[in-house]
Chains A and B, each alone.
Chain A
């Protein structure tokens, strides 16, 4: 009792007021107040105007394209991200350190550079594009191209959320499963996979959230055809260039709400993971 009280009234460390004050002031000025502007600006629209903008067929098509390509890319990353994380944590092979570093490349590489590089590779005359062309498979300037750009962008998110969980996984649990006569595959599905699930879901959501908002790596490879390969962020850009600020804000508001919900979900899942590890 005394101990916990001492801990509470405790802190001998200085600087709480200063650091907290600066943090809140900086966040408010740079992030919160400008973001609030979007919400205030849309109140300038009547409900009918707002509804007309966001239910315009071209806008709906752009949401649908952003959504489906992001889901497909995140699913691909879920499978291959788990595989990469597994291989990096559990096996030894030459060049492992370099491979591990490369996973972060999409995180450090400017999106526009990724965009032009992927377009060059998957264009009909590119390295991969020219191989797929005779098979009748078009990648650049289609939704498949958008998906590939989003796969590139999303790789680190799944690998880096799964990796630490896999690293901390107790050998004992697996040992026990083996003792009880479980086969390797069964051990994976029944013992390891359930433990990894929260991390996998977090990685999926992170990659998905990033994919929905992604702009730079997509605009080059997508071809930007309205109704076909026009993503939602690009439509906002187009509206801004036409000085249609109200239209741009309405589309942005819908995207912001989706992003906030995803962010809440991610933080909730991370809270669950950390609570579980503390409990153990």
Chain B
């Protein structure tokens, strides 16, 4: 139970920020940050002389801001493209982190496995004690606080985030610094990464930020709805993922992210507005509609001409309009069903209704 609640809180905290990362086309930046905070965590560990949450957050925040600044600086040299700059900076930071861990903290709790994959299974063991009273797992408070901070941020600065994301140029001319908003968002991504990191690890933090938001993007055209859906999909992934992990006796973090991935895949296929299936249907409908219009106009054009009989033959349709016989048959079938044409002795004749529609099409 404690694992599920922690999972939900972290998923929601991640998804709230993820929405804006998706809209800003910065999914890779969250990947970079979640890895690049490692040296910061190590530094925090070093200065606090042990695992200390606050020192960890502070170190990670600094490391993340260093990463973002370096990426921006590298981009500004215009010697490497945007995505490449990210690809150069974050492995360097992560390498520095793993190097520090291996060199100085070989025998401590902070091992590379935990960094990569986290250990949400153990959240119940780190408990918050005040005096002798057990206030429940520490992770509740961390993940809960992150959820709250992120929610507060996107609520209070909703207008600014939306404007700076949609049109940074206008935001700047209206006096809302897109620079400030960018760095504030990045700072929260880094802090959230630290919180999520101990539970699900550096690799899967990215998935929790990006995947539910990417699924939500496919499901709605309204920003508040997208934020809500992203959080909902994140939370649901945590619940179902935990159930899945129990059922097949596997990694909880892995299962959570797999479920989130399944949600994304389902959204991509079945979304009524942006799904692949809906799109294929739409294209098919358009194809039929265009074919239908072409048929009506063709018949109308040759109506009353000498060659009318010839032009309206089924066989002729295929060759004249360059249609495959199947398609010609499909279109004629639809037209007949809708009462637009009639077949008389193997010839197509426009009905009154069909003629009217054809004439409407020719108005332009």
Q: Do A and B come from one complex?
A: no
Residues of A within 8 A of B (CB): none
